[in-house]
Amino acid sequence: MTHDPHPWATTLPSLLDEVWRRLARGVHDRRAAARHPTLATISQSGAPQARTVVLRAADRSGACLRIYTDLHSAKVAELQARRQAALHIWDRGAHLQMRFSASVTILTGAEVANLWAQLPQGARLSYGGAPEPGQPLSDALAYQKSPDPAAFAVLHLDLQEMDILHLGSQHRRARFARANGWAGMWCAP
């Protein structure tokens, strides 16, 4: 690629600002790249797993993100065993790759009742039903969805590190870490 960098990519603070702007946009804009990150976990047999998720909240002050899922999905069992996760966003329009490492807390029941109450009826169909996600079926549609607040889980991601890559005529890559107050440093792309 031979295009110039976006102005926000030229300093560490403006690059970090742009990451949080794009995360915030992902929460509210179905067309934004950050709407659909890829969440990577480690399976119980020790293999990496990756799947698309929907970004539901982004809080810069606490450096945390939120994702909703079915409590009976494989990713919840994986995170119960190993709470470390990676989140990945490739924003093609911005030539920007955002990689996050995070420690995940699984919230359920009364802790998330207020979020459940805010979900439209149609959205609730993603949580609950039988058989559980991943179970074999005799036919493609031999399953039923029925909204169940007891199957609603919120993945709360406390971000630990970010690895941000901007592709331009010269690539720029930076790492930011919670441990040093998100000050950031450049590194070789």
Which CB atom, from 39 or from 154, has the smaller least distance to a copy of itself?
39
Helix/strand/coil for 89: strand
Residue 110 C-beta: closest distance to a copy of itself, Å: 27
Residue 114 C-beta: closest distance to a copy of itself, Å: 26
Specify the amino acid at residue 88: H
Told to check if 186 binds a copy of itself by CB under 8 A, we report: yes
Rounded Cα gap, residues 189 and 179, in angstroms = 22
Contacts of 32 (CB under 8 A, 6+ apart): 22, 25, 26
- Per-residue binding string, a copy of itself, 22-61, x by CB under 8 A, is --------------x-x-xxx---xxxxxxx---------
Subset of residues 141 to 180 that bind a copy of itself, contact rule: CB under 8 A: 141-143, 170, 172, 174
Residue 5 C-beta: closest distance to a copy of itself, Å: 9
Rounded Cα gap, residues 146 and 129, in angstroms = 5
Residue 167 C-beta: closest distance to a copy of itself, Å: 10
Contacts of 120 (CB under 8 A, 6+ apart): none
At residue 69, φ and ψ (nearest 5 deg) are -155, 170
